[in-house]
Structure 1
């Protein structure tokens, strides 16, 4: 009788080769002249325990330095600095809430094919001092000692006590809903 190997492997997120972005959407009277900023997350870390033979993974955790978010769009340096200042001071209040954390203590895994999986994370996000449940689905591929995960999710800023920013007397403002996209690369820890 063959024994099924059920070892969990710990992977560490490689932020240098990973991509994590936030898309905001403009609304309001002058939204056509405004833009929908794409924000890049630069400073984050994370780890995950994963077993390709099991139907469960455990302990996914990701931490983001809130002041590491930066505008990715091709705009003037002056506009970039102003958007980032507003984001840090008025939106995220990074001096008061320096860290954003997502934790999923347990998640389900479905094998989709050779080295391909779907992971359903039923985790919680702590943002702006508020914690809420946030389910996330990721497509996962494992190639040797490298795990790649990709997906997207949305959230409402107001759920986390954040008032969507508005400028020009409210003629241009950002919608409450933000879209997050990720392409994470994690390497097996030895």
Structure 2
């Protein structure tokens, strides 16, 4: 039997983990803020040849979310989480059925209240739990300093409303079938694509976060959903398009 002092220490450690209401522990308070990183311009896709009309993704009208859910024997003590990107950049070529876009992991938000409600998540993580989730997601799970970008290259297939997409995450590229609904924007000046997909973190070499021997963990499966708007706002190099047209 453990001495009383040791039992108290173990209990205190367990309570500290559970109090975060998340399988991710809060970040160290002494950590300095990360220096801002200037995002480089996206490389022009090889398929973007002179004369090919392209639309540019409108970041302020686009949203990509990833929902990760809790698992393990103590899952009831944790939270599910919604991670979101509102900084998508990329191009779409409607005539050739091609698209390419990307976003930075360190620009993603965690657990916006409105997105949690939209996803049907009923628990309310604390500000500390949210900060801890973001910190450990970037540093300990996704290794965002080494792999800062998520890149997706999609192309039309013979099947209606299904794209073939190469998703690059954590330095690993996987090809998936991506169901998508494409419509014209209300003003007729662009296109909007929406859809959802189930992915596994382990398919990209990511080990889902877990503590207490897996009693509190993040499930391997994650739910990706997107709504992307693209418009012809300006001329891209080699596109043959004119501004405003």
Please indicate the TM-score interval, normalised by the length of the shorter structure. 0.7 to 0.9
Contact 1:109 1:119 in 2 (8 A): no
Work out which of the residue numbers 67, 76, 82 in structure 1 matches 2:132: 82
Work out which of the residue numbers 57, 61, 79 in structure 2 matches 1:17: 61
SS in 2 for 1:149: strand
Contact 1:37 1:73 in 2 (8 A): no
SS in 1 for 2:75: coil
Once residues 136 and 211 of structure 2 are traced to their aligned partners in structure 1, the CA distance between those partners, rounded to angstroms, is 10
- Unmatched tracts of structure 1, length 5 or more: 1-6, 111-117
TM-score by length of 2: 0.65
Once residues 119 and 57 of structure 1 are traced to their aligned partners in structure 2, the CA distance between those partners, rounded to angstroms, is 11
Count of residue correspondences: 171
Please identify the structure whose Cα radius of gyration is greater: 2
Between Structure 1 and Structure 2, the one with more helix by share is 2
- Unmatched tracts of structure 2, length 5 or more: 1-50, 114-124, 234-242
TM-score by length of 1: 0.82
Work out which of the residue numbers 93, 99, 107 in structure 1 matches 2:156: 107
Work out which of the residue numbers 84, 100, 119 in structure 2 matches 1:61: 100
Q: How far apart are 1:135 and its partner, in Å?
A: 1.8
Q: Which residue of 2 aligns with 1:133?
A: 175
What value does the CA root-mean-square deviation take over the aligned residues?
1.9
CA-to-aligned-CA distance 1:5-25 (integer Å, 9 cap, x gap): xx9641111111212110101
Map 1:28-177; keep pairs closer than 5 Å.
Answer: 28-51=72-95, 57-58=97-98, 60-74=99-113, 75-104=125-154, 106-108=155-157, 119-143=161-185, 144-177=188-221
